[in-house]
Amino acid sequence: MFHIKLHTNNKTNHSANWHDFFSNSKTDKRVITKTHTTAYHPQKLGDSIHKICMKSFGYSGEAETTAIHVCVEIEKWLKDKEEVTSNDIKRKAAEALQKYNPRAAYKYFPVKQLALQKDQYGFIRL
Amino acid sequence: MASYDYDLIVIGSGAGGNIAAQHVAKAGKRVAVVEMNQFGGSQITGGRVPLSTLLHAASIYDAAANGTKLGIRGTTLSYNYPTLKAWKDSVVKRTGIQNTEASFSKLGINFILGRAYFIDPHTISIGPARYSAREFLIATGSSTVVPSIPGLSQSGYLTSKDALSLTRPPKKLAILGGGPVSSEFTQLFSVFGTTIHIVEKGPSLLPKEEPEASTLIESTFEKAHGITTHLESTIEKIETISAGKKILIRHGGKQHTLVVNEILVATEKRAVTDIGLENAGVQYEDNHIYTSSTMETSVPHIYAAGSCTGSQNSTHMSAYQSQVAANNILHPKKTIAIDYRATPRAIFTNPELASVGSTQLELDQNGTSYKVAVVPLSVIARSNISDFNNGFIKVLASKKTDVLLGATVVGPQASEIIHELAVAIQNYVTAANMARTMHIFPSWSEIVRVACMKLALK
């Protein structure tokens, strides 16, 4: 009997560049969530940015590059801080993401400041 | 009732922070001050105090260089800039930073070195530790915004703090921005022989001052020191070449280039807000934290004072705001409101420019009926004695009540003369009353009596 597997739990296959970047990025920063305090994982952030970019009509390569750029900007911002909230990371990531993928930025952190602006013809220009 | 580590945590040890910290600690409250950089804030260590020290030395050098007319001659008048710099450093050291630190410990104020970051409305994180407080005072100050000009970061630039640490004045300097900081650095370096070009987007230097004052300062710069001002000009790009830095300037439809050794960025300043204000619920914009007239932010137990509130970037303003915040922290049922009516401002050029209260443009915009008197300095005896007639006073008073509303003085010791006008404006004194008050002959302050007399007779 044949079994057709419609959904897969396999993780996305990332490029070597992606693995190189995240294998070297270790930080000692702490992130405060609603329930507990945890260590900051750049790869976790990278995965979530990649996912949101893919959902916003993105291509895997482009999504990976964007996620890496965002992670670099977050690490720069975190440089002089030891402890931040998860909401701070989300907000800052969305601000960084707006440069590369405004649609994904609003999806990632839906606030008025990141809302997409319609032009005079009613189109959203990306 | 929740218990906190402190009654008040002050973020920033500049004038906006330490005055409130001392007031509140004297009332027996538990206070901590958090500082990220050097104790005392940027005005003492890298702003007003070192710049004023160098300007004082420059004014002595300038006066000596121009003393030939009076019969004063020096065979070899010269300066040694490294010695000047050492003098400036010694002045900064003795300003009272150490004394303040000692007085902090006497008052039982805890001084914490590190970067404060709000993690909730009552808790901040500093390095590995967390501290909680019933109330907070944010006095983080402001930092220079570097304009996004292609090639600027690659070619390198000086901020005002860097310019104060130079070991010798640059030969050719381009200053971006035409505000008070730009004018004071122009004054400083031009005396020591630097060729200066000021590039300003707007139509005049010192746009917040009276137009007559801006024009006079601009023309004095051009005549006395050969300074070139590029008004209504924008910088398109900057390149590094062997001779220095090549700046491409656009003025109207025309382009021209400028080659200088250094570029000084003296454009706008922006409030330091990257301290987790979102986690505390404090509302802010890019250049300021919103405060009420009681210096309270959008969160009732968090106050703000100093240039982070978007007010004039001066120590006296920060200190005043800090005092108001301290009073309102200690006496929440007897709060006092901030009053900006008689805020004095001074720019230490030669001649000095000082002003207080409203400008003519502000009164026009508010629809206030007013009368105005402009008197040149040459009408008083002191001008003749000092051989200086390149200045004026402009006084504004209400047309209905004769009460003084604003004043601008351009001339020697303008920053001293302005204080009697500040007292007058603060206390609703009329022009006629000022005119009736005796002033010493022959002093520069006599000009105030003459101008108020002219105004009272209108």
Residue B9's nearest CA partner among B106, B135, B139, B141 is B135
**CB-based contacts of B127: which residues, under 8 Å, 6+ apart?**
A82, B114, B115
ipTM of this complex:
0.76
Q: Could B279 and A85 be called an inter-chain contact, meaning their C-beta atoms sit closer than 8 Å?
A: yes
Name the token pair of B222: 């051009």
- Give the rounded percent of residues in chain B with a pLDDT score beyond 70: 97
Residue in B closest to A37 by C-alpha: B119
Q: Could A88 and B115 be called an inter-chain contact, meaning their C-beta atoms sit closer than 8 Å?
A: no
CB atoms within 10 A of CB B103: 14
How many angstroms away from the CA of B128 is the closest CA of chain A? Answer: 7
pLDDT value for B124: 94
SS3 A35: coil
- Give the rounded percent of residues in chain A with a pLDDT score beyond 90: 35
Handedness of CA B439, B441, B445, B448 (dihedral sign): positive
Residue B158's nearest CA partner among B257, B64, B260 is B260
Q: What is the mean pLDDT of chain B?
A: 90
- Res. A124 pLDDT band, cuts 50 70 90: low
| Mean pLDDT in residue range B350-379 | 94
| Mean pLDDT in residue range B174-193 | 92
Pick the more confident residue, A117 or B244. B244
Name the token pair of B138: 């944010």
**Chain B CB within 8 Å of residue A48 CB:** no
Please, what's the b/e burial string for B164-174 (b: 16 or more CB within 10 A of its CB; e: otherwise)? beeeebbebbb
How many angstroms away from the CA of A82 is the closest CA of chain B? Answer: 6
SS3 B108: coil
Phi and psi dihedrals of B286, rounded to 5? -55, -40
pLDDT > 60? residue A126: no
pLDDT > 70? residue A98: yes
| Mean pLDDT in residue range B285-292 | 88
User: Among B32-36, B95-99, B135-139, which is the least confidently predicted range?
Assistant: B95-99
* pTM of full prediction above 0.90: no
pLDDT value for B376: 95
Name the token pair of B40: 């005392």
**Chain B CB within 8 Å of residue A86 CB:** no
Q: Could B119 and A32 be called an inter-chain contact, meaning their C-beta atoms sit closer than 8 Å?
A: yes
pLDDT value for A9: 59
- Res. B14 pLDDT band, cuts 50 70 90: confident
d(CA B176, CA B182): 8
CA torsion angle B218 B224 B227 B233 (round to 10): 20
d(CA A119, CA A103): 15
| Mean pLDDT in residue range B102-109 | 86
pLDDT > 70? residue A8: no
**Chain A CB within 8 Å of residue B143 CB:** no
d(CA B49, CA B341): 26
Q: Could B119 and A85 be called an inter-chain contact, meaning their C-beta atoms sit closer than 8 Å?
A: yes
Pick from B35-49, B93-107, B279-293 the range whose average pLDDT is largest: B279-293
d(CA B9, CA A115): 36
**Chain B CB within 8 Å of residue A80 CB:** yes
pLDDT > 80? residue B191: yes
Phi and psi dihedrals of A14, rounded to 5? -95, 165
* Interface residue of A77, A83, A86, A114 to substitute, partner B, most B CBs within 10 Å: A83
Q: What is B337-393 written as a DSSP string?
A: ----TT-EEEE-SSSEEEEEE--HHHHHHHT--EEEEEEEGGGSHHHHHHT----EE
pLDDT > 90? residue B449: yes
Least CB–CB distance from B125: residue in A77, A80, A82: A82
**Chain A CB within 8 Å of residue B256 CB:** no
Beta partners for B143? B270
